[in-house]
Chain A
Amino acid sequence: MITLQINGQPHDVDVSPDTPLLWALRDALGMTGTKYGCGIAQCGACTVHLDGQAVRSCQLPIGSVGSRAITTIEGVGSTDAGAKIQKAWLDLEVIQCGYCQSGQIMSAAALLAQKASPNDDDIDAAMAGNICRCGTYVRIRAAIKKAAAA
């Protein structure tokens, strides 16, 4: 049994310690907001925060997490940056199919928490790891700037 600190709450999971956080969240805890896209750190769909840093949960065995704080898409709205990003996402109607957007929002929220006014290069650096097959990039960029200005 491993105890994970997720969105401020302890959760016990009874799966093997090599299980990536992605699959522990989805299959063991039923928190399906975090998405599987590639499993090899190429797409960013599985992005969560670990002590505030954006990480790819498909690469993070739960045995290595310890007591560090995990934030997922289900909880990011209670952070200042997360709430601003979610609002900007809706104001600018960023989302299409939405499947990549949990990961996009998690990456963008981590960026905004670290840089109050990110420029285009900052956005490229923080967001290039997140693929959107629906092609919402133009709006993602605009929404990050809008959230920063809010």
Chain B
Amino acid sequence: MLANESSKVPGLSRRELLKSGAAGVLLLGFRVPIAHAASDSFAPNAFIRIGDDDVVTLVMPQVEMGQGIYTSVGMILADELDADFEKVVLQHAPPDKAYINPIFGVQATGGSTSVRAFWEPLRKAGASARAMLVEAAAQQWSVELSTCRTSNSVVIHDASGRKVGYGAIAGLAATMTPPKEPKLKSIKDFTLIGKPVKRKDTPDKTDGKTQYGIDAMPAGVKFAAIAQCPIFGGKVGRVDDTKAKAIKGVQQVVAIDDFVAVVADTTWTALKGLDALDVIWDEGPNANVDSAEIWQALRTASQGPAVVAKETGDVKAAFADGAHYDAVYELPFLAHAAMEPLNCTVHYTKDACEVWTGSQVIGRVQADVAKVVGLPIEKVTAHNFYIGGGFGRRLEQEMAVRAARLAMQVDGPVKVTWRREEDMQHDVYRPLYHNAVSASVKNGKIVGWTHRVTGSAIIARWLPPAFKNGIDIDAVDGAVDEPYDFQNIKIEYVRAEPLAVPTGFWRGVGPNNNFFTLETFVDEIAHREKVDPVAFRLKHLDNNPRLKAVVQLAAEKSGWGSSLPARMGRGISAQNAFGSFISTVCEAEVDESGEIRVHRCVAAVDTGIVVNPDTVIAQFQGGLIFGLTAALYGEITIAKGRVQQSNFNDYRMLRINEAPKIEVHLIPSMEHPGGIGETGTTASAPALANALFAATGVRLRRLPIDRDVLAGRKPA
């Protein structure tokens, strides 16, 4: 079913689809007038509603988390529809199979798939509706179809000078038969696509009007704060709520299974109540798990049996002679730490349930809430919202399930807000990864390449039909389709689920790990072979002209090869992931103590046809900062079965005073649109690590970057 759905996506092979389908995130992020009841004299498909009041409402199949997708999706629909974009109204899609993401086969936003997956379906939806409007007008005027044209929500018959607005003809258009194969515009006729269009969601975000899930305020709402068992897999033992209940405004204390919640007149009172509780946790089997043990288990697993994800050429022969290089790369657990903490508002009655939350998977929210409260799915209404950062975290729905279980015990609607500490300590974490990689070099070229990826199989849990033959297509994404002509290649995967710690998709997904490994190792080999890292990459890119072009452009625009002051270095990364081709040069400085200053990032980006150029640049800028943050600071560690970090004081974020200058150069392209939300994140860590090597001569094979290693206080 997934493959069937997938094969409908134009321009991507089934294998690519499965591959990218695995990839998860998310991205993240209107005066979009959000319409509540679209007037719909004409509703030709799931995406378009035209009222006789001339209002064109577009229903957004993908959620807005900051990635500008409402504007991009709206542009694609409006361009083929020839609608007046200024006057278009956008609406969040409800849970419905009409909004299934063709790449995933579920209603989900992530993996930088939105434009890639919906490009053709949305163009067809727009073109089909336009054809019906034209047919209606032509019929009314008794003129030839071909003599009518459209512009800005008006059908025009030039010969007679007649015009009719879409609204006035909507009722008649609704009686027309949709064309089987609507004629799509040719690229040169696009009026919106490819032009910088102002985002529709941002005006309401400048004056506090935008509603996120956390802002839902159904009448009579009560406020709850939640404490989940701090030990993974533990449960509530005993709760003494005497002190909490004595606090004025505390209304109820509820303990369910693995969490305790306090319901009160404000979130503040609920938090105070939580702090006043005396809870004894039943710590369960993981009470002694720590990071050292988790790493040891991962390393041991990496030595065990593996499945072959790809094998080409004769790897054995390639390694029989020539220069031989080996390295191991390791990446840590990471939290999502979206700025909007987890939250969900639920109103349960015995006949119906209503849910308010911002989700990348609103259909799954509805389904899982229905299951847990024991109501038929049609009795559960799930309202989606603007999302204050997803990054993959909101591809999960377990928070809604907890909120619904609590709501079953509360009279009236209840809003559950996870405090930052709870959000950080009860995440689904970017898994840790171990990579063993070897290369054989002859005559200055890599001719043999093996890469064994060991880590969690997120796909096996999140999209089981896509987990086949023991291969997690996300975990090896970027490794099985590495961009260079290494000829003799073997890629292996070992599934190793970390002890106790739940894992999930995180912006940049599998390619973060695989391109960090590939691009720092290739860089190391270039240096050890005494070849310039750009020249070395170009030697292996004759079969990959799009990547070759971005590497050349990034080198040129960054002034590659020009001299830099002492202790400053330049590093490059190249990647073909998420359907886009990108090369990034990073300039960084390291002082004697190992402190790092990232000065500048220059990227060349070929992401195929660009819908909204400024959005592409913004996503790449933001993705870079996200990736640099993780490379410089990000690591979740475990002690006694608990996450040790809790808030932004001990899980550090890059701030404005540390942010580099960023230049993004777009290469014009007529290829199928690629994804962009993840790409900056994937690009940043290898470019930075390579720059730090150039600055110091220290090779970093583990993230986050250890200042002690950089300063020589600790061995690499």
Contacts and interface: CB of A to CB of B under 8 A. Distances in A.
A31 B215 CA distance: 9
Nearest to B205: A98
B106 interface: no
A34 to B, nearest CB: 7
B345 interface: no
B208 A123 contact: no
A74 B205 CA distance: 10
A25 B66 CA distance: 25
Nearest to B653: A131
Given A42-B647, A45-B339, A90-B202, A96 B29 contact: yes
Given A45-B339, A134-B389, A93 B199 contact: yes
A34 B267 CA distance: 14
Interface string B49-86: 00000000000000011111000000000000000000
Interface stretch (B34-42, B123-131, B427-435, B623-631): B623-631
B198 A135 contact: no
Given A96-B622, A102-B208, A134 B267 contact: no
A97 B211 contact: no
Interface bin, chain A: 35 or more
A90 B340 CA distance: 21
Contacts of A100: 339, 388
Interface of A: 15-16, 19-20, 22-24, 26-28, 30-40, 42-43, 45, 72-74, 76-77, 86, 89-90, 93-102, 105, 123-124, 127-141
B339 A135 contact: no
Nearest to B196: A93
Contacts of B417: 36
B649 A96 contact: no
Contacts of A105: 206
A136 B622 contact: yes
B201 A141 contact: no
A26 B629 CA distance: 30
A40 B647 contact: yes
B207 interface: yes
Given A23-B266, A98-B201, A138 B659 contact: yes
Given A15-B249, A135-B626, 9 more contacts: A33-B207, A43-B339, A95-B205, A97-B65, A100-B339, A128-B655, A133-B391, A137-B654, A137-B655
A90 B203 contact: yes
Nearest to A107: B656
Contact of A33 (B68, B209, B657): B209
Given A133-B626, A135-B623, A138-B662, A32 B339 contact: no
B86 to A, nearest CB: 15
A37 B420 CA distance: 7
A86 B541 CA distance: 46
B215 A32 contact: yes
Contact of A99 (B68, B202, B340, B654): B340
A129 to B, nearest CB: 8
B214 interface: yes
B269 A16 contact: yes
Given A28-B266, A93-B202, A124-B657, A131 B648 contact: yes
A45 B391 CA distance: 18
B614 interface: yes
A97 B339 contact: yes
9 contacts: A20-B268, A90-B198, A95-B202, A96-B618, A97-B339, A133-B339, A134-B626, A135-B626, A135-B654
A24 to B, nearest CB: 7
B661 A19 contact: no
A2 to B, nearest CB: 13
B678 to A, nearest CB: 13
Interface of B: 28-29, 64-68, 198-199, 201-203, 205-212, 214-215, 217, 223, 248-249, 265-269, 271, 337-341, 386-391, 417, 419-420, 614-615, 618-619, 621-626, 629, 647-649, 653-657, 659, 661-662
Contacts of A133: 337-339, 389, 391, 626, 653
A123 B649 CA distance: 21
A132 B625 CA distance: 10
Max chain A C-beta neighbours (<10 A), residue from B615, B621, B661: B621
A135 B625 contact: yes
B625 A16 contact: no
Max chain A C-beta neighbours (<10 A), residue from B202, B615, B656: B656
Contacts of A86: 206-207
A97 B202 contact: no
B268 A32 contact: no
A137 B625 contact: yes
Contacts of B388: 35, 97-100
A23 B339 CA distance: 17
Given A37-B339, A99-B212, A27 B66 contact: no
A127 B208 contact: no
A134 B653 CA distance: 11
Contacts of A42: 647-649
Nearest to B223: A27
Nearest to B71: A93
B207 A74 contact: yes
A15 B647 contact: no
Contact of B267 (A26, A96, A131, A136): A26
Given A43-B648, A98-B201, A131-B655, A73 B207 contact: yes
Nearest to B266: A27
Contacts of B618: 93, 96, 136, 139
Max chain A C-beta neighbours (<10 A), residue from B64, B202, B206, B214: B206
Contacts of A40: 420, 647-649
A134 B622 contact: yes
Contacts of A35: 214, 339-340, 388
Contact of B621 (A24, A45, A135): A135
A38 B210 contact: no
Contact of B622 (A16, A22, A76, A135): A135
